[in-house]
Structures are given as C-alpha cells and as structure tokens.
Chains A and B, each alone.
Chain A
Amino acid sequence: MAREKTTYRMVNENPCNMCMPMGGILPFKGIEESMVIIHGSQGCSTYMRRHIAEHYNEPIDVGSSSLNEKGTVYGGAQNLFQALDNIRKVYRPRLIGILTSCLAETIGEDVEGIARYYLKQRGLEGISLVAVSTPGYGGTHSEGYWLAVKKIVAGLAETTGKHGGINVIVPNLSPADIREIKRILNLMGVRYTLVPDISDTLDRPIARPYTKIPPGGTSIESVRRMPGAAATIQFGVTVEEKLSPGHYLQSEFGVPLYNLPVPMGVEATDRLVDLLAQLSGNSAPQILNMERGRLLDCMVDSHKYNALGSGALFGDPELVYAVARTCAENGLYPAVVATGSGNAILEELLGPILADSPQQARYLNEADFTQIREACRETGVNIAIGHSDGKYLTEREGIPLVRIGFPIHDRVGGQRLLSVGYTGTTMFLDRVTNTILEHKHRNYRAAMYRKFYRKTGIEECPHEKYCAKEVR
C-alpha cells in the first residue's frame, strides 16, 4: 500500500469526519431509557441533533448545559446541575450520558467529579450517570463512539455470576444492520447482549402514544451483567485497545474476547457464523446456508461487472475495512482507501486483503475530501463507496457514489440500508454492481464514439448530439 506522506497540516478542506462528542451520542441512543447531555455551549448539541436527525429521520433529543460566559470563567458545574435536573424532570431517564465538548475540556471541567457530586448532593438512586471525556480536538466521531461504548460498559458493569450469554459489541452500523445481526444470533440459538442496540430507537415504527425516549435499546440490567458472559464478540478490529470495550471486559473480568471484522462479505460472515456455532454448539440452520448460497450466486453473476470498478472507499475505519474486504472478495479492488480518523491499525489490516490487487491502493489517513478527490482523479477511480459527504465526487468529478455509513443526508433511508450478513452483503453488492452498470450504460456509447469513430476519418456523425453527448 502506498501511504500518502503525512506532514503537519495547517488546514482541513471539507472534512471527512465529525467530532468526538457526535460519535459519543449514538451509543447512548442505543441504551434503554437513557438520555444524553453535552457539557458545552448550546450549539454543539443542536448541530449534532440536526446532523443525526437528518440521517435517521428520527427526533433526536440531546440536552446541553448551555455554557455561557459566566460558566466558562467560573466553571460550569452549576449549569450541568441545572441541565441534569431539567433532563430528569422532562425525560425521566434511568441513565444519563454526559459528554464533554471542546469548551468544557479546555476550561478543565472534571465531569466525572461533578457527576458523582450531583448524585450525592441530590441523594439519587436508581439513576446512573456515565461521563465521557470527548473533546472535539481529541479525536473523530469514531473514537468518540468507541470511548462512549466503553464508558457505558465500564460504568454499569458489575461482578456477576457466569450466565453463559454472549456479549456482542457493534460499531456504528445502520439499525437495519443491527437487526440482521440479531437475526443471525437468534438463528444460531445464542443468548446475547448486544451493545449498543439502536435497531429500534433510531428506526422507530409509527406508534401511539409517542414517548419522549424511544422504546428499545439494550437494557441497563443486561449491560450490568456483561462481565458474567461466556465470551465477547466485538466487531472492532480497527479499534485501539484503550478505546475497546471488549478488551476492557477481558482484562477486568476475564471475559474471552473474539474481535472480528464486521460480518460483511462471505469470509467475515462465515467467521461470525463459525464462531457462533463453536460457542453455542449449534450448527448453522438451513436458512443461513441458503442465504450463503444466494450470496455466492450473486457474486458469480456480478463478478465481471465488478471487475470494471476501481473504487474509492472512505468513512469510519471499521466500516471502511469491512467494505474493502467485501470489494476485494468480488474483484472490485479499491484504488483509494481513506478515513478521517488517525488510525494506524486499518492500514496494516488492509495489506493482506489487497495483496492480489492489480494496482497499488492509496491509503489516506486523517484525510479530507480535497485529498480524496485528488487521489480519485489521479488513480482513475470510477466508483465511490461511503457516506454522503462524498457527494462532491459525483458533482465535481462525475464519480457515482454508493451511499453507506453515517451520515447520509441527501437521500432517505440511511437507517434502513442493509449491508451485513449473507443477505445484507447480497443487497450491498447489488447496489454497487448496479451503480457500475448504470454508469457504464450511460457512458459507453459516447465513450466508444470518441475513442474509435473519430479516428476513422469519416465525417462527423450526423447524430452526434444523440450519441456523443458530453459525459465525464
């Protein structure tokens, strides 16, 4: 892999990532009866709410301690107290996550200390506060996500007796993906605690009466009991150990950790199914075998089309890795792989899976979209796969974009995109292949005309306006 030279960069031109507290909100939305507060100025929570709401098309309520000048100078404990009081009054949550912003961290707020003092001072029982230090300058939303999951687990975990269940820890996938993973777990007959479970809370059916906190999410009790599990399966191979909830459960409570790639593509899904078979003693049911067979059939049907693709993949490291594996399995070798995070593990992992690639892929760490665009232009990328912030690749470079991941702001249904498991991979592959086909069909007449007809020396085609429409 050719790695771009990374020097200290003065400016980011069109970001490929969001900030740490944004990532921290999402896991709290996957815990039952929980709310979350950003300790900072009013804008942080509002911008993030807007960003999340536009992706999921769901109401996203996030509190703010609304720090003003006074709070910034004299400390924001009073603001945070007031925020906690008001959130409790209106939402009656059993868990409140407190995420810090740049501002709170810069003025040196001890949020864990304030949270402990609040519980004591108000004499509260039956409510948990989980503080997470997520300064916007400390990492991207990906790191914020994993740190928040770890803090939720660490904050709630209790020493319990062995119960034989399995912990399943997931990265930021779509609610549809989470539902599919749960379906596979159920088909394999395992008892599990999946954290965080946004499958219902961020893809909520129309139902009456409306509740301020969406029903669903991982129950607080089951998170408490995670230390008693027989094993943890974590889809987090790109996650640093210090941010990894699975490693935490292993080192603190001795729960064996199986760190797997996101079950996307044949190999990665096989690994999950095999592991579940091994842990449960059950063999895969016929229905899963049939789905696997259909995926293989889809791969064979599409392989020649996919071979036409030269891909640019970008987004969260964990998802980028899963997509890269899936593309490589299908002969759609990525030319550009990029993430906004600073992630050293991803690059190492990509090495072996891209070993058979006919061209060397470019890896961009801590990338912005100006770099990604340049790399796409230079390598002749013809299909991009990632979140909707890659829209300029289409608008300005004419490269079609297959949307996956977070955020998807210019299309509906980001929450319903299914891409994991045998069935999800099949659907993902069809989306990719059809994008390649659509692009080819739209362009090949004009391309062939320009490439060959003009060289024949015959007069210009009289129907040029039909067959040689300018295309990129």
Chain B
Amino acid sequence: MIKMAGAVKNENLILERESSILIKGRQRKSRLKCDTDSIAGCVSQRACVYCGARVVLNPVTDAIHLVHGPIGCASYTWDIRGSLSSGSELYRNSFSTDLKENDIIFGSEKKLAGAIDELVQKYRAELVFVYATCVVGVIGDDLEAVCKAASKKHGIKVIPVQSSGFIGNKSAGYRAACDALLRLIEPPGGAKRHTKKINYLGDFNLAGEAWIITGYLRQIGVEINVVFTGDSNYHNLQKAPEASLNIIQCAGSMSYLARRMEELYGIPSLQVSFLGLEDTSASLRNIAAFFNDARMMNLAEELIERETGAFRPQIERYREKLEGKKAAVYVGGGFKAISLIKQFREIGIDVVMVGTQTGREEEYRILHDLADDGTVILDDANPSELERFMIEKGAHLLVGGVKERPLAYKLGMAFIDHNHDRKHPLSGYVGAVNFAREVYSTVCSPVWKYAREI
C-alpha cells in the first residue's frame, strides 16, 4: 500500500481511500482496490445501480422506460443523454409510477400494473423496461410477477430491471441491464448466422457515433447486425444471435453481455476502441483480421490511409499548440481511460492523473503499464482528491463529466466533456479531430489569461 505521507501531504485524505490510490513507480505494488462499494462520506462521483442500468438501456429507442419508484429517479434521468435515434423517439420520455406515501405503505404492484396498461395502450410499444428503485427493493413488490402478467396480457415484452440502488454499485447496474437485454434476445432456434454481420457492443450513439462506425465498417464490407444499445430497437436487438462476431467498445458495461452471448450462442468477441486515430485504425485492422479476408484487409488499409491522410494534418496542427501540456482524466469506465491516454499522446499531451468510477482490475493493470512514472492512478475518486492531485501534478486540463466540469474551471483548468450529454461525436477519425479541436479550444482559450492571473 502506498504511504501517502511520503509522497504527498496527507491532511485531508480519508484513510479508507488509501488503497484505491497509487502513484506509478513509487511503490512495488501495482494493484489497486477497485469495483467495491463507495465509502460513506467520501463524496464519490459515482451514481448507483439504477444509473448503470439506465445508461445502458436508455438508448433502446422504441422502448417504454418506466421507473418504478418515487419521482426523483425518473426526474434526474429524463432525456439527459445525447443518444440519437433514426426511428422512434419514445426513449426520450421518462415515465414513473411516482410512488407516494400510501403506495409505500400499502404496496405498489397494482399501480405498476396500471401504469404499464396505460402506457402500452397510449404508446403502442412492444417493449417495456421496468426499473426497480431503492424502495421497491425494500417493500418487496414482486416485479417479476407483475411484468410477467403484463407481458401475457398485452402480448409484448415487459422486462424487469433489477436496479435497486443499494444492491451494489454502478457496475451492478450494467449487469442488471445486460441481464434484461439477454431476456430480450430470442434463442437462436434456427437463426441463420450471417458471416459478415457483427454486433457492436457498448456504443450508445452519442451524437451519432455508432453511425460513424457503421459507415466505416460498411466501407470494408462488414455489416452491423445491431448496436448495443445506440439507436437499437426491439426487433433488431432480437436478431443479435445472428451475428458472427461481437465487437466491444465500452467493456465496463458490455463485457458481461459478450461473455454470456459467447456461452449461449457461441459468438466470439473482440475488444475494440474507436477513440483516437491509432485505436480506430488498429480496431479496423483487427476486425478485418478476424474475418481473415484479404479483400477486407485491403479495404481497411485503404480506408485507414484515406481517413488518416485527411485528418492527420489537422491533428498535427493542434499538436504543435498543445505539445507538453498535462492532462488529468477522470471518466466512467476503464476502456475510455486507456484510450484517452493514447489519444492524448497523439496530440502531444501527457496524462498525469487517471481514474475511473467503475474500472476493473485488468483495466487498471493496463492503465498502470501505459502510464508514465509518477502518474496518479485512482479508483472512485472524489472532488477533494481530484483537486489535490490535479494541482500537485500541474494538470492543465481535466477530462470528465458534468459534475467535474465546474471544479476544473474554478481551479483555472481547461475541461473536456467526455460524457453522455455531449452533442458532438468523439469517435472515429472525425471524432479524433473534434477531440483535438476541443482540447485546443479549451487549453489555449484566451480566457485563462484573465482567469488564472488573479
């Protein structure tokens, strides 16, 4: 374990947090405590099981997303994500059983059944996700039974999502969502395997990112069967078993689903990343290599050459301005953090602090290998740790979500929005340029001339 006192001042550090923070090269151990419950009073940046489940399922466009619980959980998750749809807009509504005191006392199964009836009748949906919230887990509503009865009554899929907030952390919510998706996927019963069709797991089509990647793959002769879950719908999700390969971008949320699909349907999986030029090119090559198809490999090389040729010069121009700057990264999952370290190197920036809300042990191992000596690596951080390490390491910018943004700004640091709210794509070649431009526009903004020297 790290001796924080020797490395940095230890005034405000909460003792229980020590094993979740390490500095590369300062201690023999490279293991980090992760994937555990947050510690009370730490002001963790993590949300809950429900959050994890909702993030993964919400992009399913033609589903009724019904939150079974008091109003707050539905209120805070209504249309807050930038997932785009090519069809239904139903997913942009937030439905709630809006439980009140009497419902808590007398039970709320009837209300839930009534809510499903009302919504299905009004919106004619074929798919309903019912999210359990904290109280539902405590008052003992039989969610399974209500959903089963409603499925039968309406002849549609009503799937319960076991996402009571207290049963674990955000990762447990990912798993609950994947379990719900597995219930949706039909058994293969004679489903024809398409040799060049693949499923794309862990892209939520923020600002059309899944469309960008679909376009690339089509150019090299690969068809996307279905994306989990960006711009997906009931019917194309059901066809998931027809694919011959699962590629996974967001591993934190989707590796469980991939593993289950391999067990159930024999679909192999491949980890990819479309963040940054280097990773995008490598991922396209790996997909082509998987199919062992010479023509596909050639097409991939052509695409890579064409796109890098078009975008690298722009990125180089930004790199000249950004060389030598230092970045801090605090994001949701490990895969994104790993890609970001590489992506920052492409534009001449070193990562001096990197952490995630839900990273897993193997991801932290990769982060540790990838990081420069002296980089602070931390799991489930809080504002006071972020503040302290960003200042100590002299970071010029932070990558994070909505909650972290004002902290960075108040500290006089640039900020990159790498969250689900954003309205611009960061995936693929076009995304790599967007990223470089965003970094440039915030790091090199003239406002810092005034806001830092006070």
Q: Residues on A close to B: CB < 8 A? A: 9-15, 17-19, 21-22, 37, 40-51, 53-54, 56-69, 71-72, 79-80, 82-87, 89-91, 101-103, 106-107, 135-138, 140, 204, 206-208, 210, 212, 389, 409
B94 touches A47 (CB 8 A): no
Chain B neighbourhood of A83, CB < 8 A: 40-41
A46 touches B45 (CB 8 A): yes
Chain B neighbourhood of A135, CB < 8 A: 70, 101, 104
B403 touches A15 (CB 8 A): no
Interface members, chain B 350-384 (any A CB < 8 Å): 382-384
CA distance A67 to B167 in the complex (A): 9
- Give the Cβ gap from B44 to chain A, nearest Cβ, in Å: 6
Chain B neighbourhood of A56, CB < 8 A: 406
Contact of A11 among B49, B97, B411 (CB under 8 A): B97
Contact of B94 among A14, A37, A44 (CB under 8 A): A14
Interface members, chain B 419-454 (any A CB < 8 Å): 451, 454
CA distance A200 to B407 in the complex (A): 16
Further 19 A-B residue pairs, CB within 8 A, beyond A41-B134, A86-B39, A136-B73: A11-B118, A12-B71, A13-B93, A13-B94, A15-B78, A17-B75, A19-B70, A41-B166, A43-B49, A44-B165, A47-B51, A47-B77, A49-B403, A51-B76, A53-B405, A85-B41, A140-B71, A206-B412, A389-B78
- Give the Cβ gap from A36 to chain B, nearest Cβ, in Å: 11
A18 touches B41 (CB 8 A): no
User: Could you say which interface size class chain B belongs to?
Assistant: 35 or more
Chain B neighbourhood of A138, CB < 8 A: 101
Chain A neighbourhood of B94, CB < 8 A: 13-15
CA distance A321 to B337 in the complex (A): 48
Contact of A50 among B38, B74, B76, B95 (CB under 8 A): B76
A42 touches B96 (CB 8 A): no
- Give the Cβ gap from A202 to chain B, nearest Cβ, in Å: 11
Contact of A43 among B16, B47, B406 (CB under 8 A): B47
CA distance A262 to B410 in the complex (A): 31
A78's nearest neighbour on chain B, judged by CB, is B40
B274 on the interface (CB 8 Å rule)? no
- Give the Cβ gap from A12 to chain B, nearest Cβ, in Å: 4
Interface CB pairs A-B, < 8 A, 16: A11-B114, A13-B95, A13-B119, A19-B71, A37-B41, A40-B134, A43-B51, A43-B165, A44-B48, A46-B45, A48-B76, A53-B403, A66-B44, A72-B138, A86-B41, A102-B69
Give the most central of B43, B406, B407, B454: most A CB within 10 Å: B43
A137 touches B135 (CB 8 A): yes
Chain A neighbourhood of B73, CB < 8 A: 43, 47, 136
- Give the Cβ gap from B258 to chain A, nearest Cβ, in Å: 26
Chain B neighbourhood of A11, CB < 8 A: 66, 95-98, 114-115, 118-119
Chain B neighbourhood of A14, CB < 8 A: 78, 93-95
B410 touches A66 (CB 8 A): no
CA distance A291 to B69 in the complex (A): 48
A21's nearest neighbour on chain B, judged by CB, is B72
Chain B neighbourhood of A47, CB < 8 A: 47, 51, 72-73, 76-77
B305 on the interface (CB 8 Å rule)? no
A50 touches B402 (CB 8 A): yes
Mask: chain B, 93-116; 1 = CB below 8 Å from A; 0 = not? 111111111011000000100110
A18's nearest neighbour on chain B, judged by CB, is B75
A18 touches B72 (CB 8 A): yes
CA distance A40 to B313 in the complex (A): 51
